[in-house]
Copies of this chain bind each other. A is one copy, B any other.
């Protein structure tokens, strides 16, 4: 039996692994910890090389205990593409793009739900719910379909209609929320008791971060178990960045990756930049950006990231930073990535624009190795009408009145 614990990112309490409520009693987000000393003695990173090329090759560092419960659609082990022309142009040692657009459902969100729904299958829950700016909704929908569970997804009404279309195609119960992602989260929060929904929102349970962690495990393995110098990641709820950091930290603790942790750079879009603001003012704690956001409805539009303080500490402790890029810079970046053959989502384009900004500001040094993440496929963001029959609500009471 695998030894696992849960640790609260707020009050630091530690207790045996369980997958029931999802959060600490103090309201803090939970992270899984493993018996790394034991793993170090009993195994080695070499066993992973021979495993199938999905994220489940790393099951020793994933919280699922019953491998028969695994819900898989072929997620993970995405390509890491070297961008030689731009390396030369920018004077970098190596520039990599990890193509998360090649996951099932066309985004990195597949990873989190593969792990979370495998955990849900070990419980009596039959209904799962998420608030999302889009990609988490369609990923939950696909994995719930695969697992034979009912999915309920709540998406701000201005988010990409095509992703709502995709969620419906996977059989999800979809709702548009007249508000932002935290308003959608409130609907789930208010309804989960009465409706029996398992809340799989960002930081509401520890499984999704573990799934996203595999981006970091893969990055290290694909780089020959060496750390890059810099990781640039689009930051909305932040669980992708947290996952990659956690992966590299665990590998370092195991002695299975060489070098220091990379500097983590969070990229946000001008108009909703709580992380960038906190880094600039050297604040310890994050101040929510409020509801008057002006950025586009993408994965980085999260005014109040639930695990914001952990994001800040990762950036601080690794000597990283945070940058805000404009819609115009993102559009230009999408064109530049397209001309390299890569279909860049707005979030992936933000990362590319962030790299150019860092380079301009001298925050990336000549010869450094930089890893970018293209978190989703661009086509999912083309303007598209919401599929007919998807209701618009403002609250759980609205939802309640419709069913």
Contacts and interface: CB of A to CB of B under 8 A. Distances in A.
A283 interface: no
A398 interface: no
A19 to B, nearest CB: 21
Contacts of A73: 79, 81, 99, 341-342
A106 interface: yes
A291 B74 CA distance: 40
A52 to B, nearest CB: 9
Given A74-B78, A79-B74, A338-B171, A343 B99 contact: no
A332 to B, nearest CB: 13
A41 interface: no
Contact of A382 (B50, B145, B377, B384): B384
Contact of A74 (B99, B144, B384): B99
Nearest to A74: B79
A400 to B, nearest CB: 26
Interface residues of A, number: 46
A145 B336 CA distance: 10
A326 interface: no
A125 interface: no
Contacts of A144: 341
A270 interface: no
Interface string A331-349: 0001100111111000000
A338 B79 contact: no
Contacts of A105: 343
B170 A106 contact: no
A369 interface: no
For this chain, the copies found in one complex come to 2
Contacts of A341: 73, 104, 141-146, 170
Given A145-B341, A339-B171, A102 B99 contact: no
Contacts of A85: 148
A118 interface: no
A249 B53 CA distance: 25
A112 to B, nearest CB: 15
B379 A162 contact: yes
Interface string A66-97: 00000011100111110001000000000000
A343 B74 contact: no
A103 interface: yes
A210 interface: no
Interface string A136-151: 0000011111101000
A157 interface: no
Interface in A90-127: 99, 102-106
A169 interface: yes
A169 B334 CA distance: 8
A54 B382 CA distance: 29
Interface string A154-170: 00000000100110011
A333 B400 CA distance: 33
A74 B82 CA distance: 10
A384 B382 CA distance: 9
B104 A99 contact: yes
Nearest to A105: B343
Contact of A377 (B74, B106, B145, B170): B106
A263 interface: no
Given A54-B79, A74-B79, A169-B335, 4 more contacts: A53-B53, A74-B81, A105-B343, A144-B341
22 contacts: A49-B50, A74-B79, A74-B81, A74-B99, A79-B104, A85-B148, A102-B102, A104-B342, A105-B343, A106-B379, A142-B341, A142-B342, A145-B340, A145-B341, A166-B343, A166-B378, A170-B338, A170-B343, A171-B338, A377-B377, A379-B379, A379-B380
